[in-house]
């Protein structure tokens, strides 16, 4: 076998990429660039569903990551899960019908991912899922439902960690579909590293490298109810010893009363990608509920404290720098003692294949260039 058994690109093809929300741009940008470079004569179509639309949640990422202007803007916007998903399905169907792509590539676990996966499979179009196989085993998370559906219907399942292979096999997905390629989100970070390392964005807030806690919080279970207030109370307390920088997601922004915050808690707009990577790189530590930030901080070797009961990214805990605090804002008080305790401990290296070359391996699979032995070795033992 020299090519993927389940999907092979024959001659010139049409590949359609779908992005919709902030983390999607980061995961997809290097894949688009690599496939365009590898197959310049193919037809490449980019669709932006518009799930995220504020310039700081969307446009700045396309610009900084060098993503070409989308061919289709679906303008879906914000709404309930049902309406947002239905609107995306309604608007992507005619695009898929007129473009008739040979392959649709969807990233991650947002509502756009779910909606496009359902439409593509019903039109009989092959689907590839980037970042397949992640499971929190918590079906109250909307993302968990989105991931399960996208994986079930994907011909190509691109995974970035061994446990994702286990999860897919446990759900009965054929190993031939599973390709361990590594982490394309880390490809974007690696490509930007020289640029963000020299930015030192924290200086614009009067802060020094290594002397602040970077915070992001946006999960509904944390920010849509009373836990957010408790988290802010704890951040006020931490900030007397370690200033806090908190770029605020729009979902969270709507729920914060600035008057309750200490002057050492710096609430700022959602940061652009380069600015946020700079803020991460210079932070003493990170407190987050973001999936992508758990991964980036592991790559950067920075202590990360995650305000969740579980993570679909256990590799960031077992071979990374991530500590799960639980859905317990009171445990934010543990961050300073934990930092004092680990002071001087060298961080572990990044997980296997989080190396800046994942998109090349995605392209190898899509183009059928990859030596089957490499694929089989990657999935061996997981059948």
The stretch near ligand UD1 (CB under 6 A) out of 1-9, 51-59, 123-131, 193-201 is 51-59
Give the residue with the Cβ less far from ligand UD1, 142 or 301. 142
Q: Is 250 in the site for ligand UD1 (CB under 6 A)?
A: yes
Is the torsion defined by CA of 125, 43, 292, 271 positive or negative?
negative
Q: Is 23 in the site for ligand UD1 (CB under 6 A)?
A: yes
CB of 349 to ligand UDP, least distance (A): 20
Both structure tokens of 168:
């897919």
Q: Is 243 in the site for ligand UDP (CB under 6 A)?
A: no
CB of 271 to ligand UDP, least distance (A): 4
DSSP-assigned states of every residue in 82-117: HHHHHHHHHHHHHHHHHH--SEEEEETTSHHHHHHH
Both structure tokens of 2:
């020299």
Q: Is 266 a catalytic residue?
A: no
Q: Which does 270 bind (CB under 5 to 8 A by kind): ligand UDP, ligand UD1, none?
A: ligand UDP
Give the residue with the Cβ less far from ligand UD1, 13 or 127. 127
Tokens 């990429």 label which residue? 17
Taking Cα atoms as reference points, which of 181, 146, 158, 187 lies closest to residue 26?
A: 187
CA angle 114, 119, 125 (to 5 degrees): 115
Taking Cα atoms as reference points, which of 281, 196, 305, 202 lies closest to residue 245?
A: 202
Q: Is 271 in the site for ligand UDP (CB under 6 A)?
A: yes
- Residues 48, 179, 218, 249: which is the catalytic one? 218
The stretch near ligand UD1 (CB under 6 A) out of 131-139, 192-200, 243-251, 299-307 is 243-251
Q: Which does 57 bind (CB under 5 to 8 A by kind): ligand UDP, ligand UD1, none?
A: ligand UD1
**Calpha distance 276→374 (Å, rounded):** 35
**Touching ligand UDP, residues 176-195 (CB under 6 A):** 185
Contact of 5 with 368, CB cutoff 8 Å: no
Other C-beta atoms closer than 10 Å to the C-beta of 372 total 14
Give the residue with the Cβ less far from ligand UD1, 53 or 354. 53
Question: Which residues 6+ apart lie within 8 Å of 331 measured at CB?
Answer: 307, 325
Binding site for ligand UDP (CB under 6 A): 22-23, 26, 185, 216, 247, 270-271, 273, 276-277, 290-293, 296
Binding site for ligand UD1 (CB under 6 A): 21-23, 51-54, 57, 78, 109-111, 142-143, 218, 249-251
For the annotated catalytic residues, the residue numbers are 218
């Amino acid at each position: 076998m020299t090519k993927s058994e389940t999907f092979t690109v024959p001659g010139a093809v049409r590949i359609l990429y779908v992005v919709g929300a902030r983390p999607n741009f980061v995961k997809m940008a290097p894949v688009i660039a690599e496939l365009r470079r590898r197959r310049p004569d193919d037809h490449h179509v980019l669709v932006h569903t518009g799930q995220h639309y504020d310039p700081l949640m969307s446009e700045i990422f396309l610009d900084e990551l060098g993503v070409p202007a989308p061919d289709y803007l679906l303008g879906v916007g914000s709404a309930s899960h049902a309406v947002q998903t239905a609107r995306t399905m309604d608007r992507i169907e005619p695009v898929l019908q007129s473009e008739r792509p040979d392959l649709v590539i969807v990233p991650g676990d947002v509502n756009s991912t779910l909606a496009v996966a359902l439409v593509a499979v019903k039109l009989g179009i092959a689907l590839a899922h980037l970042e397949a196989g992640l499971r929190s085993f918590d079906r109250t998370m909307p993302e968990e439902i989105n991931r399960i559906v996208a994986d079930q219907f994907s011909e190509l399942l691109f995974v970035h960690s061994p446990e994702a292979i286990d999860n897919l096999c446990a759900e009965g997905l054929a190993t031939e579909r599973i390709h361990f390629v590594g982490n394309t989100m880390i490809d974007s970070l690696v490509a930007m590293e020289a640029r963000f390392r020299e930015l030192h964005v924290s200086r614009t807030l009067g802060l020094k490298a290594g002397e602040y806690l970077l915070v992001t919080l946006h999960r509904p279970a944390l920010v849509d109810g009373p836990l957010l207030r408790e988290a802010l109370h704890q951040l006020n307390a931490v900030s007397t010893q370690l200033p806090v920088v908190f770029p605020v997601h729009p979902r969270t922004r709507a729920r914060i009363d600035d008057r309750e915050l200490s002057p050492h808690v710096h609430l700022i707009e959602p940061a652009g990608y380069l600015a946020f990577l700079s803020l991460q790189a210079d932070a003493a530590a990170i407190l987050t509920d973001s999936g992508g930030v758990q991964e980036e901080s592991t790559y950067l070797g920075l202590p990360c404290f995650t305000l969740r009961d579980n993570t679909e990214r256990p590799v960031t805990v077992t071979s990374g720098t991530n500590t799960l605090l639980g859905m317990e804002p009171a445990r934010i008080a543990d961050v300073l003692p934990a930092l004092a305790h680990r002071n001087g401990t060298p961080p572990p290296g990044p997980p296997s294949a989080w190396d800046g070359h994942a998109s090349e391996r995605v392209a190898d699979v899509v183009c059928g260039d990859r030596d089957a032995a490499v694929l089989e070795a990657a999935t061996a033992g997981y059948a």
